[in-house]
Amino acid sequence: MSFLDLIVKPTVVVNLIKVESNIRRMIQRAKESNASLRPHFKTHQSGQIGELFRKHNLTSITVSSVSMARYFAMHGWTDITIAFPFNIREAKSLTEIQRLAKVTLITASSETIVFLQEQLNEAVNLMLKIDTGNQRSGIQVSNYQSIQKLVDSINKSKLTHFAGFLVHAGHTYKAKGLYEIQQIADHGHEVLSTLQSNFGVEKIISWGDTPSCSMAQMKGYFEEWRPGNFVFYDLMQYHIGSCQLDDIAVIVVCPVVEVHPDRKKLIIYGGAIHFSKEFIAADSGFQLFGYIVLLHENGWSKPISGAWLSSVSQEHGIVMFSGDEASSFKPGDLIGVMPVHSCLVTSASKEMLSTGGELITCMK
């Protein structure tokens, strides 16, 4: 039986051969750069896919929430960094997770540090979130005075251990090609090295983003890498230059529900709740929500030239063609969509299906 025979509604399908290839390549890149790899599991959110990392003797992981930390702790992971500013309302859940795993938190807040020191019964590692240009969260890397105050605050109590500096270089997602990504990595290395030298401490620098870890030369730059999206990749990464189309290991398979050859379009069961509303702005001005691929028993084809997911509403998706390909489909057929952002696609799904027909459960 083909995996296609199991699909009746929008379904995330994963090619595990490509997944393993992506994992091996990132492990090798980190090794060549003298960095330890602490992969971010927010992309796949699956205990089963986590086992593919464990096969390569990886023991330390990153997650994006307390609930995700609990999920992976229950799957036997014992060294977990929660790479999101700690939400003090979840302190009770944190205590439960600490019985199963060593947990590292991040913060840029003196109030959070004081709260942890007053409320925790068991010590926790704390990393300071540093902003080197992403401008989302964290302390500006040049704000040494504020950083020093937070380090001093962490060191006041035996319940909080200062574990180093953590950066998400998310501004690489707005870069165009290797040159701009390399500039971001070079700048990060320069300012973070200065930060380390100013504090006179040998605490690790944890650096996380898929574009630079996939492309940039960063030998000796950072002690730890935390990429996540690389496990599946997606069209966003392809357009940045982080991967090739053949590296993209995930699609969403959707039923065709209407065919309009006169308008060169299909309506598919697959909308914003399956793909999100993230898009890529094409050079000619239209919005691209996904590439269209044909399906076969072992996976999918290269993207169809002149075909794209042009818009999404809650459940509907509109697939457009530049030629007459729409006439070759009928209601009930299945079509594959290569997503713009695989992390959000996975997060919207309770389960995935491998091209071999294996059901892969997600964190829900």
Q: Which of 16, 91, 79 lies closest to 46 in space, CA to CA?
A: 16
322, 307 in Cβ contact below 8 A? Answer: yes
160, 123 in Cβ contact below 8 A? Answer: yes
**What fold, for 3-11+245-361?**
Lyase, Ornithine Decarboxylase; Chain A, domain 1 (2.40.37)
Q: Supply the pTM of this predicted model.
A: 0.96
Q: Which two tokens stand for residue 55?
A: 């096969």
pLDDT of residue 234: 98
Q: How many residues does the chain have?
A: 364
pLDDT of residue 263: 97
The structural domains of the chain, with segments of one domain joined by +, span 3-11+245-361, 33-227
pLDDT of residue 237: 96
Q: Which two tokens stand for residue 250?
A: 């995930």
Selected from 3.20.20.150, 3.10.440.10, 3.90.25.10, 3.20.20.10, the CATH number assigned to the domain covering 33-227 reads 3.20.20.10
pLDDT of residue 350: 87
DSSP 8-class letter at 271: -
C-alpha angle 188-192-196 in degrees, rounded to nearest 5: 170
The gap between the terminal CA atoms of the chain, to the nearest Å, is: 28
Angstrom distance (rounded) from CA 76 to CA 281: 41
Q: Is 41 helix (H, G, I), strand (E, B) or coil?
A: coil
Q: Which residues, 6 or more positions from 81, have their beta carbon under 8 angstroms from its beta carbon?
A: 38, 60, 61, 62, 63, 103, 104, 105, 106, 127, 166, 206, 226
Sequential pLDDT tens for the chain (364 residues): 799 999 999 999 999 999 999 999 999 999 999 999 999 999 999 999 999 999 999 999 999 999 999 999 999 999 999 999 999 999 999 999 999 999 999 999 999 999 999 999 999 999 999 999 999 999 999 999 999 999 999 999 999 999 999 999 999 999 989 999 999 999 999 999 999 888 766 779 999 999 999 999 999 999 999 999 999 999 999 999 999 999 999 999 999 999 999 999 999 999 999 999 999 987 777 899 999 999 999 999 999 999 999 999 999 999 999 999 999 999 999 999 999 999 999 999 989 999 999 999 999 7
pLDDT of residue 83: 98
- Beta bridge mates, 361: 351
**Beta strands 224-225 and 204-208, pairing class:** parallel
